[in-house]
Amino acid sequence: MDTVVIILFISFWLGIFLTIVFSITASQKKKAKLIKLHLKEEKLSHYKVQFLQMKTSKYTAIGGVWIKVDFYFNENLILIAPDSDSFFNGMNNFNLPIIITNNHELYHNKTFSSKIKKATEINYPWTKTMKIKYREIGMIDNKYDIQIRFNQKADMEKFRLINKV
């Protein structure tokens, strides 16, 4: 009898946890789909890449894990959206989708997204890796460090030739 109660208790909380994760991921995918719909006249190139985000502030430092994401770009913007095939992105990163651009007003008026950021630094520290840094100023100044790992060096080189952010 005790094991049945324990199994029911664990399965109940596991069900709640999975429901929360799936609902966050579904919400992220819905936002990404809406942003892509608003940007349909933009000619965006697309890659599947790996994504890692770290956040630091005066009081906290939060790391992440590598997840697969959809990476869209053209000469004016970078859109990082949750992987359309995955259901567990919501567990690892709540900030997706993110748009990184120099023209904040234009893309805010097109997409109505609050996740439009201006990169403070973009560099290429390793062969297939790009690092993007940006800040979010509010009550606490948060600094974000995003690493994008391309699957092939040729993909990163194509990105570097096209993108001017």
Sole residue written with tokens 């805010």:
108
Contact 157, 148 (CB under 8 A): no
Q: The domain that contains 107 carries what CATH number?
A: 2.30.29.30
Predicted confidence at residue 49, as pLDDT, reads 92
* pLDDT at 150 > cutoff 90: yes
The alpha-helical segments, DSSP class H, found in the chain are: 2-38, 89-92, 104-111, 153-162
% the chain with pLDDT above 70: 94
Q: Which residues span the domain enclosing 76?
A: 2-162
The predicted-structure confidence for 101-142, as pLDDT tens digits, reads as follows 888 888 888 888 888 888 898 888 888 899 999 998 888 888
Tokens of 100: 């990184």
143 has a pLDDT exceeding 70: yes
Residue 131's pLDDT is what? 93
Helix (H) or strand (E) holding 64: none
CB neighbour list of residue 107: distance below 8 Å, 6 or more residues apart:
39, 77, 99, 101, 113, 116
Give the count of domains, the chain.
1
Q: What is the pLDDT of residue 162?
A: 86
- Look at residues 123, 111, 50, 34 and name the one whose alpha carbon lies nearest to residue 77: 111
When the pLDDT of each residue in the chain is averaged and rounded to a whole number, the result is 85
The pTM assigned to this predicted structure is 0.79
Q: So what's the pLDDT on residue 21? A: 80
CB-CB neighbours of 92 under 10 Å: 18
Least confident of 91-100, 114-123, 155-164: 91-100
> What residue has token string 């949750």?
82
- State how far the Cα of 6 lies from the Cα of 95, in Å rounded to an integer: 35
Q: Per residue in 56-94, pLDDT tens?
A: 888 888 877 888 888 999 888 888 888 877 766 656 666
